Chains A and B, each alone.
Chain A
Amino acid sequence: MYDIIIIGSGIVGSLVAYDLSRYRLKVAVLEKDNDVANGTTMANSAIVHAGYDPEDGTMKALLNVRGARMYPQLCRDLNCIIKNTGAFIAAVGEEEEQVLDVLAARAEKRGIACELLDGDTARGLEQNLSDNVTKVLSIPETCIIYPWEVAYAAMETAIRNGVELFLNTEVTGIDKVPEGYLVKSGTQAYEARMVINAAGTGTAAIDHMVSDRVDFEPRPRRGEYFVIDADIDYVSRVIFPVPTAKGKGVLAVPTVHGNTLLGPTSEPIEDADKKETSFAGLESVRQQLQKTMKNPPLRNVIRSFAGIRASGTSADFLIEELPDAPAFVHAACIDSPGLASAPAIAAYIRDTFVGKYMPLEETPDAVMTRPAPVVMKNLTPAERDAMIRRQPLYARIICRCEQISEQEIIDCIHGPCGARSIKAVKKRVRPGMGRCQGGFCEPRVAAILARELHIPLTEVLLDSRNSRILEKENR
């Protein structure tokens, strides 16, 4: 019997688990995939928006501003990368300049620093800004993070504090029982007094297992992106076009590892599992980017990808207890600025719903910080040398693009929320993120996974449960 079951281990589920792990509560997390942070958290713009964008009076406005202010401390505690790059919202022509004034007023009201710059001043700071840009609203507070790092760092810490994570556990049914809920996954069942549904694009389907009064329908949207080689310095800040009713538009975003993201599109799709890219989508990124940017570095694309936003028929976040299912809480319609709001969403769920049903008594044993993982590339020569004397495998470089050693890969497999697939290793320590995209290191990573997990090489997965990379042994 658990006090709380959290369904989903994206950024919201992971941060809820982390936050609750400080209390005397028995918490389990059920994740349908074989790794945490494998859906929307894995494929988005990686921006901590400052919070000037959502309309007044919305949950989005409230939680975005709060969440953005929680990130710097959260990232210090969890030893996650965060970079305060700032952002430009770039207007073309008078009509758009007026929108900047509205956003500036909103920002000021919410205590977010901002400054209006003329086009030439802005181009002096961001040389690839289009010559058509006439005015820019500068938001110095905007940050970028490595979204899935925050999620697995939070989950790792939660697990150290006693939270149980069940991977490959897709919820197939939920029964109401006298004590609370019986959450079923195939032949397995987990009982809890309270359920927090943070299943991203799957939230509505799970709601329907307990409720006849689900007040939204999923409307997943796909966003396609290009990733640019880290050797190209294209932008130093996040560059937004002026937002429209359709969304935030196509951005140029620096990443914490020096790449640039160009995108996303925003296209409604039927099947939230269809994470495929399209000619039309990628062409649309190229076209839309021209509005605010010039010299697009499209010769240096190292990857394109699509992410699915967990949008729904509600424009605002829906974070509420279901009316006909007491102690069953969902975080629904968490689209942009979901990532920026996530720490505040977790706090809101705790204060509003968890506290209502159970005492929030902190345990003295909980450790809310995460020790920094060893990243050889970031150490000084003397520090690297010392590490290698302790463990020579820190000197065996497996990924030549990102200079990642064998021991760093081994460390991430044996961590508390350890990697189980090539993609899970890539998420944690980044072999395959460089310009060769795994051409060189993938066979080597596969061999390490097989050895460390004691499985045959033919059982090594690229990503999902059926994504074996090898067909059979040949001799």
Chain B
Amino acid sequence: MMKHYDAVIIGGGSAGLAAAVTLKQNGLENIIVLEKDGEAGGILQQCIHNGFGLQTFNEQLSGPAYAERFIRQAEELNVPVLCNTMVTHMHADRTIEYVNPEEGYQTVTADVIVLAVGCYERSRGAVEIPGDRPAGVYTAGQAQRYLNIDGYMVGRKVFILGSGDIGLIMARRMTLEGAKVYGVAELMPYSNGLPRNIKQCLEDFDIPLYLSHTVTHIYGRDRLEGIDVSAVDENLKPIPGSEVHYDVDTLLLSIGLIPENHLADEAGIRMNPRTRGPVVDENYMTSVPGIFACGNGLHVHDLVDFVTLESSRAAEGALRWLKKPQNDSADILLQAGEGVSYIVPGHVHADMAQPCELFFRVTAQFDTAEVLLKKDGEVIRRTVRRKLMPSVMERLKLNPADLPADGSSLTVEVRERNTK
């Protein structure tokens, strides 16, 4: 007999644990968390630096300490977390196939599925750096795992491509462990990491950040021996003659994170090409009824606190949907207008009962920005915000009263105030 659950949560990291805890606290009894790794907590377990939890707990915790709070909460609520358990397939009829050493190959069904699957790092292949293929080129997260989980340094003379937060954290971490970090090159004219990480991980250690630069060649047959770093023009093309050579044995890549979307794809869930995660509504439900998504598997966050918040909301959405699965009210598209790269959720229902917080990112840096909410081309709300940047996620509250009754769309736009 196939097992059936009220809810199956795929992923036992920060998103999955928060969703499971909220579901259980609200009386959903028969639930289970499936975690591929040997322990719950996800990527937080290798993030031993401080800075987690400022929003949620008003204190600075390490990644494992932040994870521990939710692992303990799940334990106290008797939420079962199956570790070493890999979901191999997920189908639109909410059937899940998974595998683990204790139970073998299992197929189960669920009333709701919460996808809390996290993300993966873009690799060298995705950015096409010419040259050799030696050892010594890692994603920042790989080097972080080798150092913080396994206890090994990947190298001594380090350069970092990409200013994503993990790369910045690793610049500091490797410096503290005695490595020399020669610099961080960022293709874009602005940093892709949080301002606080630029300050605390680079500036405080005199590690230069080269904006509008990229790695243009990799040298070394066996182990990395050196790299060329070039300036890029406004079309992001390397400028010939601008190369500077660095003799390094290690290149870390911190060039972006991509939601893990394999299961969602398999179930035929509609994806957002910008976030590369599923498109969801105000309940965080995907295009497949009963399948919800949250955390870095939905869109990549910069703070774990927002992952927790969002995942808890996704669980509340799932609970609302379980009470009232039919939703015939009109769909209102939320469109990313000028200056906005994406908005989550991607659409809301016209009969939405309570306010909904939108998460969005801007496409460029803004000094003093006007954030516009537009209905039928008409501005219905205008707020002014200082210092917006693509690396920092923005929030905007959407009230039921803002919604057009006729099911048309809403647009969020961001522009520099001086240029209107």
Question: Would you call B153 and A472 a contact (CB within 8 A)?
Answer: yes
Question: Would you call B152 and A474 a contact (CB within 8 A)?
Answer: yes
Contact partners of B250 in chain A: CB under 8 A:
471
A470-B152 contact in complex given A301-B126, A392-B101, A462-B135, C-beta closer than 8 Å = yes
Interface positions, chain B 111-166, Cβ under 8 Å from A, are 120-121, 123-126, 128, 130-136, 139, 141-142, 145-147, 149-156
A439-B142 contact in complex given A305-B133, A381-B105, A400-B86, C-beta closer than 8 Å = yes
A437-B123 contact in complex given A282-B130, A469-B135, C-beta closer than 8 Å = yes
Does A123 lie at the interface of the complex (its beta carbon under 8 Å from any beta carbon of B)? no
Smallest Cβ distance from A333 to chain B, in angstroms?
25
Contact partners of A73 in chain B: CB under 8 A:
none
Smallest Cβ distance from A438 to chain B, in angstroms?
7
Question: Would you call B142 and A442 a contact (CB within 8 A)?
Answer: yes
Which residue in A227, A384, A471 is a CB contact (below 8 Å) of B99? A384
- Enumerate chain B interface residues (CB-CB to A < 8 A): 36, 84, 86, 88, 97, 99-102, 104-105, 107, 120-121, 123-126, 128, 130-136, 139, 141-142, 145-147, 149-156, 177, 216, 218, 221-223, 238, 249-250, 260, 262, 265
Least CB separation from A397: chain B residue? B86
Which residue in A276, A282, A469, A470 is a CB contact (below 8 Å) of B132? A276
Question: Would you call B120 and A440 a contact (CB within 8 A)?
Answer: yes
Question: Would you call A470 and B120 a contact (CB within 8 A)?
Answer: no
A457-B150 contact in complex given A275-B132, A465-B222, C-beta closer than 8 Å = yes
Question: Would you call B152 and A472 a contact (CB within 8 A)?
Answer: yes
Question: Would you call A466 and B142 a contact (CB within 8 A)?
Answer: no
Q: What are 30 of the A-B contact pairs (CB < 8 Å)? A: A276-B130, A276-B133, A277-B130, A279-B238, A281-B130, A301-B128, A303-B123, A381-B97, A381-B105, A392-B102, A395-B100, A395-B101, A395-B105, A400-B86, A401-B262, A436-B120, A439-B123, A440-B120, A443-B146, A461-B135, A463-B133, A463-B222, A464-B221, A466-B223, A468-B135, A468-B223, A471-B152, A471-B153, A471-B155, A472-B152
Smallest Cβ distance from A401 to chain B, in angstroms?
7
- Enumerate chain A interface residues (CB-CB to B < 8 A): 227, 231, 273-279, 281-282, 301-305, 381-382, 384-385, 388-389, 392-393, 395-397, 400-401, 403, 435-440, 442-443, 447, 457-458, 461-475
- How far, in whole Å, are A382 and B104 apart by their CA atoms in the complex? 9
Question: Would you call B36 and A277 a contact (CB within 8 A)?
Answer: no
A396-B128 contact in complex given A436-B120, A474-B152, A474-B153, C-beta closer than 8 Å = no
- How far, in whole Å, are A468 and B135 apart by their CA atoms in the complex? 6
- How far, in whole Å, are A392 and B134 apart by their CA atoms in the complex? 34
Question: Would you call A388 and B101 a contact (CB within 8 A)?
Answer: yes
Contact partners of B130 in chain A: CB under 8 A:
276-279, 281-282
Question: Would you call A474 and B177 a contact (CB within 8 A)?
Answer: yes
Question: Would you call A474 and B221 a contact (CB within 8 A)?
Answer: no
Contact partners of A472 in chain B: CB under 8 A:
152-153
